[in-house]
Structure 1
Amino acid sequence: MFALFSSSCVSNKKLVYFPDPAFNTEKLTPIANQPVNYLLQPRDILSVRIKTLDTESSEYFNIQPENGFMNLNQASVFLSSYSIDDNGSITLPEVGPIKVAGLTVQQAQQKIQEAIGVYLNKATILVKLVSFKVTVLGEVNTPGQFYIYNDQLTVLEGLGMAGDLTDFGNRENITLVRQTETGLGAILIDLKNPQLLASEYYYLQPNDVLYVQPLKAKTTRGNLNTLNVLSVVFGAVSTAILILTFVN
């Protein structure tokens, strides 16, 4: 029983991130890592806002919710945005389809700017990716799906949004599932390896899924809890039998 109890405890070494002696308290350790620009894919959702001196003309191109105003929730953002179709295009009124898949958000904005410029003079175009979400599952404190209102997100930030790993989260075995142009792909991430900070997988992309696997200690602890319950039940039954034997 003692051996089982000991194996259910989590060593402090298993809870530490990036245990690298190269890191110190005297100066920053430089890490070379350039974020990779995300390329738009079909089913991504873009917010396209067009502004001109002629408000009536610009409003013709801007999608508005049916109730006439914008609520600050994700559903209303989607309803007032453009979804990239399976052909990789969004369709603007009068302009027609504009192919944006395979472009960065900045490149898509420039392309839309050129297309709108044919119809509107001195128009200002602002394009944002509003379907940037990540899902974090497994041994974290608050698993769920999180929408990102920023241009980039790191693995550490994503795990932080999910309340960090529990003590039983395996920091050496985190599965990253990513949608690519050729289909789904998966890779294991090790938070104890400082090389992650320089890896291309340090930055999350839209629709990424992180799954934190549990340590074996959690299973052992579950077995220990079961044994404790059985011990209590067995003790109660034994006591009852002794009482009945004494009475008789």
Structure 2
Amino acid sequence: MRVKLVSVVGVVLLTLLLGSCGTPKDVIYFQGVDSLTPEQKEAMNQSYNTRIVPDDLLNITVTAWDPSVVTPFNPPTYAYSQQGDQPVFASQSLYNYLVDKDGMINFPVLGMLHVAGMTKQELSKMLEEKISKYVKDPLVNIQISNFKVTLMGEVNRPGSLTARNDRLSILDAIGQSGDLTINANRKNILIIRDENGQKEMARLDLTDPAIFASPYYYLRQNDVIYVEPNKAKKKNARYSQAQQYNITVFSSVISAVSIITSMVITIINTSKK
């Protein structure tokens, strides 16, 4: 009977050991991606273009075969010292145009222009058409200087992330932030987005390949990504807080007892005298 009991205990321990060595299913990304059909993969293809929104900082430069003819449309490339003979570079911030709350920018010569809702390509084409009335074959280059997103929660390097280009996916952002921690809940990633002054919220499951078809797969300017802790982390946090509280209460009780004991001893000693 004893041998059988030992054998059963051994099997149970071996099973637990093997189970602990395996990779938890809820930390594996894109589960089932290898079994997707061609139709499912086709449905995940997305064409994405960043739209200009209020508070974007647009870096706009106008060029042409003769640089001098586009000077009115660009801030001065050079400034001069007080002596007037030594040119120095002007700040690149002179090329930046802040989109106001009404979606407008004030562009040299052309005046106030409504740009919110346009892609960079659409704005470039519009500016080239308007500038072509003054300059032959102008070329307009536009970049969004302050495209950033913010990552919070169970990320190895939380904080704001400035994108080098306008096409930034949730995977790009997480990868550049050092990936999620082992305590992250990969099935419930919260995206907070400002859409026309209204807050939109969506949940993404990184373990599901369907994430590639989500309209929130590609991030937009000023998106906030919050990664909540998994159940184990929450449970440990609650346990730690309760344990800390108990220790604090116990310490307070011990201190109170010690003080009372000291007072009693002092009173007894005084009465004996």
| Distance of 2:78 and 2:139 partners within structure 1 | 24
Matches within 5 A, 1:190-201: 190-201=205-216
Please point out which of 89, 101, 104 is paired with 1:69.
89
Q: CA deviation at 1:150?
A: 1.4
Matches within 5 A, 1:132-171: 132-171=147-186
Q: CA deviation at 1:77?
A: 5.6
Amino acid at match of 2:41: P
Cα 1:135–1:64 change in 2 (3 A) is: farther
Matches within 5 A, 1:1-248: 12-20=24-32, 22-23=33-34, 30-31=41-42, 32-63=44-75, 68-69=88-89, 78-223=93-238, 227=243, 230=247
Cα 1:216–1:64 change in 2 (3 A) is: farther
CA contact (8 A) 2:74 2:108 kept: no
Amino acid at match of 2:192: V
- Name structure 1 gaps, 5 residues minimum: 1-9, 71-75, 242-248
| Distance of 2:188 and 2:23 partners within structure 1 | 16
Q: CA deviation at 1:184?
A: 1.3
| More helix per residue | 2
Cα 1:66–1:163 change in 2 (3 A) is: farther
Query: Identity of counterpart residues, as a percentage?
Result: 33
| Distance of 2:95 and 2:46 partners within structure 1 | 32
| Distance of 1:210 and 1:85 partners within structure 2 | 25
TM-score, normalized by length of structure 2? 0.69
CA-based RMSD of the aligned residues comes to 3.0
- Name structure 2 gaps, 5 residues minimum: 1-21, 80-87, 259-273
Cα 1:79–1:12 change in 2 (3 A) is: farther
Residue in 2 that maps onto 1:5 = none
| Distance of 1:124 and 1:33 partners within structure 2 | 31
| Structure with larger RCO (C-alpha < 8 A, sep 6+) | 1
| Distance of 1:136 and 1:214 partners within structure 2 | 14
Residue in 2 that maps onto 1:6 = none
Question: Secondary structure in 2 aligned to 1:110?
Answer: helix
CA contact (8 A) 2:72 2:109 kept: no
| Distance of 1:33 and 1:156 partners within structure 2 | 15
Amino acid at match of 1:181: N
Q: CA deviation at 1:66?
A: 8.8
Amino acid at match of 2:232: A
Q: CA deviation at 1:189?
A: 1.1
Amino acid at match of 1:173: N
Cα 1:78–1:189 change in 2 (3 A) is: farther
**Residues 111-140 of structure 1: per-residue CA shift (max 9 Å, x gap):** 111121122222211112222111111100
Question: Secondary structure in 1 aligned to 2:199?
Answer: strand
Larger radius of gyration: 2
Q: CA deviation at 1:38?
A: 2.5
